[in-house]
Amino acid sequence: MKFALIKENQNRISVFVKVLSILWGILMTTPAFAHEPIFGIGPHTIFKGGIGIELEVDGSGGSSEDPVLNTEILYGITSELSVTLAVPAFFDSNIFDLRGVGDISLRSKYRFWRNDTAGTQDAAAVILGMKLPTGRTSGQKTSGTGSVDFLLGLTAARESRRWYLFGDVRYLLNGKGVDNLRRGNIFFADIAFGIRPMLGEYLDPDPVLTIELNWESRMRNSVEIPEFPGHEGRSLFLSPGFFLTYRNWALKGGIQFPLYQSVDKSLFKEKFRFLIAIETHI
């Protein structure tokens, strides 16, 4: 009887973890700002009083996950401080089969240092974020972890007319959620290069090509069921991407290809991850 109960719990948690854990890091930690790395994060903030709206589709190959539609709303409190509300929506098999709205996240970014020179901006920012347990955690269609998670990050960048260089470190501190499961914390480190092949004017379409190296280190899950496997692993991704902007509209996308993956048996090895997003600032 006890064994059956444990097995049932394992199955429930296993599906839950598979569906939410891999992409959750991306959803929780990547920002809504077009001229930033696709999978990493940069120090950009929106102008004071500005509103940014982003629709982003995230997915991965090789795991059982279905794509996630993430809606982000960004607001500039000052030119150096912005806040973002992120609302993910999960789908079962297609875009018309909504599984549920997931846990919403709130993030703030404070650009504490900026050095402007002709055609170049150097900047550094800190990021603080919190995920709230707003998604459904019971029934067949779960869409939340039931936990309050926190994000800490530090990023710096040099952006010039021709070249981009970004670097960041982030730490996702996961809280205890449904069934007393505390998913393993995640450490991210990213570096990104970008090049603008054509130097256009303000009202010209503006393409930028990027290449990123993304490191992830996932700690072991903490669960009360001893038989439930851990979830730790380390991955290094090579991630080509692009931005294409026109005035206040942006299209961006990228694919993460694993160069190295050391993950335990509970975490499916991924063939790739992708992200594509459209964004506007008003």
Spatial separation of the C-alpha atoms in residues 226 and 27, rounded to whole Å = 29
Q: Does 160 engage in binding with another protein (CB under 8 A)?
A: yes
Q: Which residues have a Cβ under 8 Å from the Cβ of 110 and sit 6 or more positions away?
A: 45, 80, 81, 125, 126, 128
Q: Which of residues 74-103 bind another protein (CB under 8 A)?
A: 78-80
Question: Would you say 121 or 261 has its CB closer to another protein?
Answer: 121
Candidate residues 48, 234, 269, 271; the one interacting with another protein per rule CB under 8 A: 48
34 binds another protein (CB under 8 A): yes
**C-alpha angle 14-17-22 in degrees, rounded to nearest 5:** 140
* CB closer to another protein out of 18 and 114: 114
Among 96, 118, 139, 140, binds another protein (CB under 8 A): 118
C-beta of 98: minimal distance to another protein in Å? 31
Question: Which 206-265 residues touch another protein, going by CB under 8 A?
Answer: 206, 208, 243, 245, 247-248, 250
How far, in Å, are 33, 43, 91, 92, 156 from residue 40 at the CA level? 11, 11, 25, 27, 11
User: Can you tell me whether residue 73 is helix, strand or coil?
Assistant: strand
CB of 47 to another protein, least distance (A): 3
List the one residue out of 2, 43, 34 whose CA is nearest residue 168: 43
The binding track of 167-206 with respect to another protein, each residue x by CB under 8 A or -, is: --------------------------------xxxxxx-x
